[in-house]
Amino acid sequence: MEKKVNQRKLRVCVATCNRADYSKLAPIMSGIKAEPESFELDVVVLGSHLIDDYGNTYRMIEQDDFDIQARLHTIVRGEDEAAMVESVGLALVKLPDVLNRLKPDILVVHGDRFDALALATSAALMNIRILHIEGGEVSGTIDDSIRHAISKLAHYHICCTRSAEQHLIAMCEDHDHILLAGCPSYDKLLDVRNKDYMSVIRAWLGDDVKPENYIVALQHPVTTDIKHSIKMFELTLDALISFNKKTLILFPNIDAGSKEMVRVMRKKGVEHHPNFRAVKHVPFEQFIQLVAHAGCMIGNSSCGVREAGAFGTPVINLGTRQTGRETGENVLHVRDADTQNKIIHALQLQFGKRYPCSKIYGDGNSVPRIVKFLKSIDLAEPLQKKFQFPPVKDSISQDIDHILETQSALAVDLGGTNLRIAIVSMKGDIVKKYVQPNPKTYEERIELILKMCIEAASEAVNLNCRILGVGISTGGRVNPHEGIVLHATKLIQEWSCVNLRAPLSDALHLPVWVDNDGNCAALAERKYGKGKGVEDFVTVITGTGIGGGIIHHHELIHGSSFCAAELGHIVVSLDGPECMCGSRGCLEAYASGMALQREAKKLHDENQLLVDGMSLKNEDGISAIHLIQSAKLGNSKANTILKTAGTALGIGIVNILHTINPSLVILSGVLASQYVSIVKDVIQQQALSSVQTVEVVTSDLSEPALLGAASMVLDYTTRRTY
């Protein structure tokens, strides 16, 4: 620090916003002014300095023989939260012109006020180095956030205590750019205590007031809880009136809530009360003498916990505004000042006492240290700040693509025949699949689901898959919000009023989603299939039964009683074959795998199923596959059955088109390819012209139920609403 690192004078701009920060900045300004061979000093005045209600305190800067290069009226009156924000905005509008004109090398900013935040923001964006005074301290209000924000913008730091220095280091600030100097105001206040204090006391409080027999009160609003701080101020005034001691009370600062506090003062008649002297401003040297010789100081000003300790003056700190500040033993904290009696009791305990003098915040020699520090600043150093982050362990995470691939879901497909479970990745890859026959009883089925899920979840670890949750696709009507199967057809026995979510979630400690298999097929198409990016489409499953799902405005439709998209039970004939639901003429009774199996058995019983090229082993059961095979080999009766089934499906889809008017119909399941051309023909023959242009396609997904079940989990992890 001893060497002169710059070949020219350092141009230092000191910006002061209010009476409080000027008391800390004035000694630094004097130190800079005293060395004209090393520094050029510019002074910018803004904020409450220029407001009459707050004493026009810019005059004391002129009285101290400092030239003011710029005066900026930046306060928007209103004294509420919005006014504070608007004041910051106004300062940000006005400051660039001043900083462009002055072109300082260093901008000196103090503390934690909203005006100071505007100063630091402007300088940082204009590539001007910032020296922040009193960073790293803790007080317990919004001021903390502002103070730390300024510290992050600042290039250099002057702190007052060892704890503040450690806080700045913990905030990753460069240790070489931090100076533990002490509070600059101590350089002046330790010299003024023994001056002619009696004349000061008489001037402000009257001739009959003796030292240590009066109170200094200074209380500001707490911007994070204005209503409570006003109530506390009201209780404080009531307590002071009752305590019946001469009191010098200063008006609050300009923070949100100050106007209401002034109203409380006037409502209580403080300005005209014989025991009170209410003032807007006291010059710092005189104020320090008044504090030094007071019987007690009360309120929530930082002066009470900082400067008053240098004289051993007893202090009552009210509320939370200075929570976290380092204090001497002279400070009695009344955190919850919610009654007048509590404050009176504190006054009785503190008034008239004397405490050992404390030098926590300084020893009276901070300014020489700060001036020396300023001389050491090398303007040739890069302007960009460097943060001193603590060492961290090497990350064991893999690259983002790999992470996305291994984020997975357990998908469960509960069909009429088989129980299938799969580990499905975010990209829709089935990493591993497990298949078991679906048990006939509820107890056996739940037991098997749990066993298979636990095994799959365990194996997922070895496969480098992180399971995010479980998705279940099941036949039947499902309440997806509760994870309950409300009712199922005869395809799945003992499967009504079944809570699937609770047992699986309890056993696996994972979130569980449940939905109908048709809805899951639609979700699979939305995420991985031909419905991706389509706003409105319908998926129709043609398998053992007939089901489906409706996507409207990109979201799945469940209906008021979770019965939407029960497409298999659209009635297409009043006197058609009986359906498993108990009705007649349903789509499922015509076009499902069970319906085709039924018709195949009839043909077989009449010896009309098998044609040349077909054979049937004794152990083989008759199925829909045999009917399709027979039709392909030229069996006209089998072909007629398939055409009737396809026509019934086509009529059902026409009804869907006329009801919800989707732009796309996706046929899914093992029978989709058999029906697609017939369905298209029926649409052209039966549908209104306005919907005949609808696109009808077959699904490319081999496992729509599993993929749809997985998508419920994976869509949630990517914050899609389901």
Of residues 352, 699, 409, the one with CA closest to residue 549: 699
* C-alpha dist (Å) from residue 122 to 16, 90, 116: 15, 12, 10
Q: Which helix (H) or strand (E) holds 10?
A: strand 10-16
Of residues 401, 428, 429, 81, the one with CA closest to residue 258: 81
Of residues 149, 156, 150, 122, the one with CA closest to residue 10: 156
User: Cα(119)–Cα(97) distance, rounded to whole angstroms?
Assistant: 12
In eight-state DSSP terms, residue 611 is -
Annotated binding site for an N-acyl-D-mannosamine: 477, 489, 517, 566, 588
User: Cα(566)–Cα(584) distance, rounded to whole angstroms?
Assistant: 15
Q: Which helix (H) or strand (E) holds 543?
A: none
Coil vs helix vs strand at 83: helix
What token pair was written down for 133?
């005074």
Q: Which helix (H) or strand (E) holds 333?
A: strand 331-334
User: Cα(703)–Cα(668) distance, rounded to whole angstroms?
Assistant: 10
Question: CA-based diameter of the chain, in Å?
Answer: 129
User: Cα(694)–Cα(704) distance, rounded to whole angstroms?
Assistant: 22
Coil vs helix vs strand at 314: coil
Coil vs helix vs strand at 179: strand
Catalytic residue among 255, 517, 536, 605: 517
User: Cα(498)–Cα(700) distance, rounded to whole angstroms?
Assistant: 32
DSSP alpha helices (H): ranges in 310-441? 340-350, 366-376, 400-406
User: Cα(305)–Cα(321) distance, rounded to whole angstroms?
Assistant: 11
Residue type, 371: V
For residue 392, how many other CB atoms are within 10 A of its CB? 6
Of residues 551, 553, 576, the one with CA closest to residue 564: 551
Q: Is the Cβ–Cβ distance between 328 and 360 less than 8 Å?
A: yes
For residue 127, how many other CB atoms are within 10 A of its CB? 8
Q: Which helix (H) or strand (E) holds 520?
A: helix 517-528
Tell me the residue ranges of DSSP E strands in 103-197.
Answer: 106-110, 129-133, 156-159, 178-180
Strand order in 664-668's β-sheet? 555-556, 546-552, 537-542, 664-668, 695-698
Those residues whose C-beta lies under 8 Å from the C-beta of residue 553, and which sit 6 or more positions away, are: 535, 536
Coil vs helix vs strand at 245: coil
Residue 569 Ramachandran class (φ > 0 left, ψ -120 to 50 alpha, else beta)? alpha
Residue type, 146: I
List, in sequence order, every residue forming a beta bridge with 39; answer none if it has no partner: 10
User: Cα(111)–Cα(496) distance, rounded to whole angstroms?
Assistant: 68
Annotated binding site for Zn(2+): 569, 579, 581, 586
| 517 assigned to active site | yes
Q: Environment class of residue 231 by beta-carbon count within 10 Å: exposed (0-12), middle (13-18) or buried (19+)? A: middle
User: Cα(616)–Cα(619) distance, rounded to whole angstroms?
Assistant: 8
Catalytically active residues are 517
